[in-house]
Amino acid sequence: MDASLELAYDPFVFTTGSFSPGTADVFCSAFTDEETRRIACAELEYYRGNVEKAAAEFGALLGSENDNIAISATLGTAISSLSGGDINIIIHLYRFAKELSESHAEDDPLKKMCDFLLLYFNILLHNTPDIRFPAFGVQAFAVPESLRPMAFYIYAHYLISVSDVGRAIGMAEGALIFMKRPSPVSEIYLSLIISVGYMLRQVWDKAEYYFRYAWNLAKPDGILLPFAEFRGMLSGLLEKCLRFEEPAAYKQISKLSNRYHKQWVFLHNLLTGEKISDRLTAIEFNVASLASRGLSNQEIADFLGITLNSVRAHLRNIFNKLAISSRKELHHYVI
């Protein structure tokens, strides 16, 4: 790959694209350059949960003679691997990017691109001790304007992972308010991280408001993957909002989430040495997450729309599976 590549390129041509909800297919097909169009379509397939199809298309473009397309394909391949593809691919790409970063000068464009990739995945995997975060304002405004909302999302995600919840909410809400153009996927991710923040603050009405805002943007184009990614962090909010209102979509998201969670847990524990569990069912994980935040059994039952006896039964199963004896130990096993 040519080290003189321009950083002005936005590698996420669909993710940061500007289009109206319900017109994603038209947006992707409008690119005149064939390889760019294929990247955009692969991104859309990924967000719809067609991970293998997306991974195959990204993989076919890894050898592109266009460095920018090759970067997009590399990022797409890595992200697809995290969401249910070959996990060895992302491990290889992660280590390769780290080696490239360490072997190039600070002002080398290739090093900067590798650092961006490493930053994104470390934050996504909550591997915060390995992050060397520079002055964020300088970094955020050094990227193309179309990519800035996602840069703010990435930093808000980082703030959540280090328990700086108030700043995370403020940054993501500000990014939403001051967006210069509609960008549904960026808005979905910003809204979901805000929802997570309000869940952590136990401001249930605002958490649900931002979740539903994200869903209303996603539904017209069949975008599901972001909700699968966030299912664990949302601690039952997805179930509360979609299980009965959107049963078909909820079933698809649940299937995607199970695959994503297994991959995420493996990589997170590998990188951090922690022991987040993949032995719990989705409902058990939600109960454990809410209990670890201090909610009573009745509060958990009310939030999830299940009976008090169901909560007690889930907690017994959770304690047995994790071989623990108190709620104080739960935070070691959940997000």
Domain ranges of the chain: 24-274
Write the single-letter amino acid at 296. Answer: S
The whole-angstrom separation of Cα 207 and Cα 195 is 4
Q: What percentage of residues in the chain have a pLDDT greater than 70?
A: 88
The whole-angstrom separation of Cα 304 and Cα 207 is 14
The whole-angstrom separation of Cα 49 and Cα 161 is 25
Residue 238: its pLDDT value, please? 94
Write the single-letter amino acid at 284. Answer: E
Residues in the chain: 335
Cα angle 218, 220, 222; round to 5: 65
Cβ neighbour number for residue 3 with a 10 Å cutoff = 13
Contact 301, 256 (CB under 8 A): no
Listed in sequence order, the DSSP H helices in 178-307 are 184-200, 204-218, 225-230, 237-242, 247-272, 282-292, 297-304
Residue 4: its pLDDT value, please? 35
Higher pLDDT, 50 or 258: 50
Distances (CA, A) of 220 to 17, 19, 37: 16, 12, 21
Chain segment 210-266, per-residue pLDDT in tens: 999 999 999 999 999 999 989 888 988 999 999 999 999 999 999 888 887 777 777
Q: What percentage of residues in the chain have a pLDDT greater than 90?
A: 44
Residue 273: its pLDDT value, please? 73
- By CB atoms closer than 10 A (0-12, 13-18, 19+), residue 55 is buried
Residue 72: its pLDDT value, please? 87
Higher pLDDT, 45 or 101: 45
Chain segment 6-15, per-residue pLDDT in tens: 345 677 899 9
Lowest mean pLDDT among 35-39, 165-169, 266-270, 274-278: 274-278
Q: Which of 125, 51, 41 is nearest to 84 (CA)?
A: 51
Residue 35: its pLDDT value, please? 96
- Asked if the model's pLDDT at residue 136 lies above 60, the reply is no
Residue 9: its pLDDT value, please? 64
Chain segment 276-298, per-residue pLDDT in tens: 777 788 788 889 988 988 889 99
Residue 317: its pLDDT value, please? 93
Give the pLDDT band (50/70/90) at residue 140: low
Task: Return the CATH fold of 24-274.
Answer: 1.25.40
Tokens linked to 312: 């007690």
Q: Which of 135, 146, 96, 103 is nearest to 117 (CA)?
A: 96
Tokens linked to 249: 């979509």
The whole-angstrom separation of Cα 83 and Cα 52 is 9
- Asked if the model's pLDDT at residue 1 lies above 70, the reply is no
Mean pLDDT of the chain: 85
Residue 78: its pLDDT value, please? 80
The whole-angstrom separation of Cα 145 and Cα 151 is 10
The whole-angstrom separation of Cα 243 and Cα 261 is 18
| Helix or strand (DSSP H, E) at 70 | helix 67-82
- Asked if the model's pLDDT at residue 3 lies above 50, the reply is no
Residues ≥6 apart with Cβ < 8 Å to 306 = 283
Distances (CA, A) of 273 to 71, 86, 186, 206, 239: 30, 21, 31, 34, 30
pTM for the model stands at 0.84
Residue 268: its pLDDT value, please? 73
